[in-house]
Structure 1
């Protein structure tokens, strides 16, 4: 059926394939369905690279074409698809019956992983007996797909912005426009991370934030040693303010109230002993708190 693409891009320390494998493993735990599998879209097809709970080797190397089978429909329609009784389902093609039925799957649920409106992967969970898909199954599958989509969106943006620095030998030689691009990425990444509840994912995002901060730091400025500890939210707000965003714009970006943004800014300014937000940003950059 063709070979699945090998993931090589990392977020934190994980490759593409490791990300989807972790998502598939979590899928079985959250949905309580015994078997799960999934893979990324490449060249228009879904290449299954991760499998959890399978009793046979039938699913290995599966490549699902767009519009074909349950996952192919989920890919094309950009929405979850369910086959309660896969064998007798009339709403899908049966191109992959040998694989799915060979594994003994009766009920199959397929959820596309969406990134900025585009399906980037499909995750499946299945049962060996006909089983209804209630809130536990659907909610768990949606949660895992959403988390994987967030990780892919962050990874894509980080890779795009980091590529701007690859032509420079050191952060000090970065063009000012490139440095500002990286600073924008840092602020955007923090705004995304602020919406993530999973502590493991937040930790991985923080490692990428530090990488961005190091790359975009201006080493021509004299470093400033400060015994200051800003809260995560204070750094989030200050990172947005560094881009010239107003309190209202920061509030919209971070899903906060405008008065809360003002409070965080005032607190950060007080800790940094700065009379304006611009002075606070400058001090935070010299102290290595902001890129």
Structure 2
């Protein structure tokens, strides 16, 4: 199960997703929520004419949304009232709002349904009469956001137990470096500034742990400063990734990766990427 010590943060992400779904489709009503205590709890509603949807709680396998959760695939009906293929446990809420066309898109994170996003219209429509594809993209973006938030909380939980003392084993140090590179990659894929700041805090903590556990003296003071992208590519290079692998991991072109490696090597006065990694570690710029 995912770490859930920061549910308010996740609710904020859902609120943004519901707003985005309303803006990017032609559904007049958008709503959604995450699974808690075994049911989808709808907390965010946009465009509704009544308050019926605000009390919606959906159990997996029941209703259109429950089927979407159980099957982990989008479900849609152009005439909700007369559709015999779904249970009608939630007619009071859906028909109370007057919804005829309903789309339910599950939010799936690491193979687990975490919530549902809905788009609704008051008039029956053909399957081609609504724009469903953007809703799928919004759900995927929310799933990515939740996955990153889970990873942030997991890393925080691990590092909040205190920095290790003594000398790391080679396996422990390699795990730390892999974690650092993974966090750099995750950070590069998000736009949420608050979440990015948390990631950067964890990265600094990991780098600090590396120094405390592996060095008898503090890293020397330096006026060398690597840009975030230079740090990203060096962190990947430190794990032995090729230029093509770094490009794929960070979503960059290979030529761009080479350019960042080149500028980092220049700043570090290193003739190879491996020499640059070594010097960056000595200066405390990489774990």
- Looking at structure 2, the residues matched to 132 and 172 of structure 1 have their Cα atoms a distance apart, in angstroms, of 64
Task: Tell me how far 1:104 sits from its aligned partner.
Answer: 1.1
Which structure: greater helix fraction?
A: 2
Correspondence 1:239 to 2:209: no
The answer on whether the counterparts of 1:269 and 1:280 sit within 8 Å (CA) in structure 2 is yes
Deviation at 1:273, TM superposition (A): 1.4
- In 2, Cα distance between equivalents of 1:101 and 1:274: 68
Structure 2: give runs of 5+ residues left out of the alignment.
none
Is residue 27–residue 120 contact of structure 2 (8 Å, CA) maintained in 1? yes
The TM-score with structure 2 as length reference comes to: 0.82
Q: Cα offset for 1:71?
A: 0.4
Deviations 1:232-275 (A, max 9, x none): 43322111122333434324423455565444323311122123
Residues 1:187 and 2:181 are matched in the alignment:
yes
CA distance in structure 1 between the partners assigned to 2:131 and 2:232 by the alignment: 34
Contact 2:53–2:93 (CA under 8 A) maintained in structure 1: yes
Contact 1:157–1:185 (CA under 8 A) maintained in structure 2: no
Residue ranges of structure 1 left out of the alignment (5+ in a row): 1-6
CA distance in 1, matches of 2:185, 2:129: 29
Q: For 1:74-223, what aligned pairs fall within 5 Å after superposition?
A: 74-132=68-126, 134=128, 137-168=131-162, 170=163, 181-195=175-189, 200-201=191-192, 203-217=193-207, 218=211, 221-223=218-220
Change (3 A) 1:213 1:144: same
Matched, 1:224 2:221: yes
Among candidates 16, 20, 37, match of residue 22 of structure 1: 16
Instruction: Please give the alpha-carbon distance, in whole angstroms, between the structure 1 residues aligned to 2:40 and 2:19.
Output: 18
Q: Structure 2 vs 1, CA of residues 107 and 270 (structure 1 numbering), >3 Å: closer, same or farther?
A: same
Asked if 2 retains the 8 angstrom alpha-carbon contact of 1:112 and 1:119, the reply is yes
Alignment match, 1:265: 261
1:34–1:127 CA contact under 8 A, matched in 2: yes
Matching residue within 266, 280, 284 for 1:284: 280
For residues 174 and 97 of structure 1, do their structure 2 counterparts lie closer, same or farther at Cα, with a shift above 3 Å needed? farther
Listed one character per residue, the Cα deviations across residues 26-63 of structure 1 (whole Å, up to 9, x for unaligned) are: 22122132211111123442221222222222122322
Q: Is the 8 A contact 1:171 1:216 kept in 2?
A: no
Instruction: Kindly report the root-mean-square deviation, in angstroms, between the aligned alpha carbons of the 2 structures.
Output: 2.9
